[in-house]
Amino acid sequence: MDKAARLIRMAEDELTEYSTEARKIEKLRRKFSFAVPYPEQVTVRSQVEAAMPQNFLAKLVEENRQTVALPFWGIGGLGLLLGISWKQPFDLIATGVGFYVAFQIQKWGWELEAKRLVLKTLDEIEASVQADRAEAKVE
């Protein structure tokens, strides 16, 4: 696993905890500093940023993954209900497709959110290092 993927997995683990974004960034700063040396963080950041899609759909899914996936959960549930109650096996296909698409949208949104958290954390590390260097020059 390359370093960018490792940082993304760390961010995904941090997303599972209920806390503010600032707290998540603060916890990730320590982890990132151990995982990737500071000089390499610039290249890792550029890799993660290059992997982030910039289209409208990606931004929508990143910000509102549950809202985007909701109609597909509904299609899956309705297909399940109609397939069982009317004994129509073709409606069960809609269940499988709807649930699969909804799950994939949720998963994609989760990964996009983790990548965004990695970028924010690396930016925060860069800002703190620049502030420390400026403070050292003043003294």
52-65 residue pLDDT tens: 999 999 999 999 99
**What's at 75, amino acid-wise?**
I
66-81 residue pLDDT tens: 999 999 999 999 988 8
**What's at 57, amino acid-wise?**
L
Sequence-separated (6 or more) residues with CB below 8 Å from residue 14: 24, 27, 28, 117
Sequence-separated (6 or more) residues with CB below 8 Å from residue 56: none
Domains in the chain: boundaries? 3-138
Tell me if the pTM is above 0.85. Answer: yes
C-alpha 19/C-alpha 24 separation (Å) is 7
